Amino acid sequence: MRAKNKTIVVSGGGSGMGRELVLALLAKGAKVVALDKNQTGLEETVKLVMDKAANLSTHVIDITDKIAVEQLAARIISEQGFIDGLINNAGIIQPFVRVNDLGYETIERVMNVNFYGTLYLIKSFLPHLLTRPEAHIVDISSMGGFLPVPGQTIYGASKAAVKLLTEGLHAELASTNVKVTVVFPGGVNTNILQNSGLEMPKASEGKSKTPNILSAGKAAQIILNAMEKDRYRVLVGNDAKIMDFLYRLNPKAAAGMITKQMSKILSQ
């Protein structure tokens, strides 16, 4: 589905990759409805839009609140007249600790934002999307959604749930005009740590290393290109592509590589 002249909802539009998706969609000639829990973040996104502000509307919403999501979706459809696409980008990670050391409150928060928030938005907009001549749902999973990452096991489980949800939707909607794409980003330069209320632990004392990760803007371009080409799945970043290949080739060995990389963080 081409973005031009379409109206597309983007969750997590107040920062990081979500903000870049909003800006890129506007540049392509789309109208965008940006959702975020952070009002300040949404206001900062609006400031960056400049001459395309008329094509952007913003709404503060906690996507874990099912009733609020349903009510907002109905309001957005009424105000906009129609919605052609939904990009489920909002997400958080967990503290870098093992499952045994993770409290249920944190576990539930991660699952509620990443899985249920995505599900609530899909359920709220899908009946309307099915009435459109063409429509598209894009769900952001993660490299951690197909490859185990010790210290991010619950996050990975939530993103694996998004993966299967999206793939199931693709199968269920195959005979409709609603296309579905699942996205697996690797390392992307966003502020997901801050949005999750976390700090990145140091892998070793006295050393500072900046990983070679993809910019949020580049990631957004890859995702939108996949949407416009009706791709089934897209791997964002060389790390995601490499680990996808290795995990298909030898799942245990690939998991072992990640475990070794995470061992210093988890040993602290």
List residues with catalytic annotation: 155
Polymer length in residues for the chain:
268
Q: Give buried/exposed letters for 18-31 (b at 16+ CB in 10 A, else e).
A: bbbbbbbbbebebb
Burial of residue 171 (number of CB atoms within 10 Å: 0-12, 13-18, 19+) = exposed
d(CA 236, CA 257) in angstroms, rounded, equals 20
d(CA 164, CA 87) in angstroms, rounded, equals 16
Angstrom distances, CA of residue 137 to CA of 75, 134, 216, 252, 260 = 19, 11, 20, 32, 35
Which residues, in sequence order, are CB contacts of 74 under 8 Å at separation 6+? 124
d(CA 209, CA 217) in angstroms, rounded, equals 22
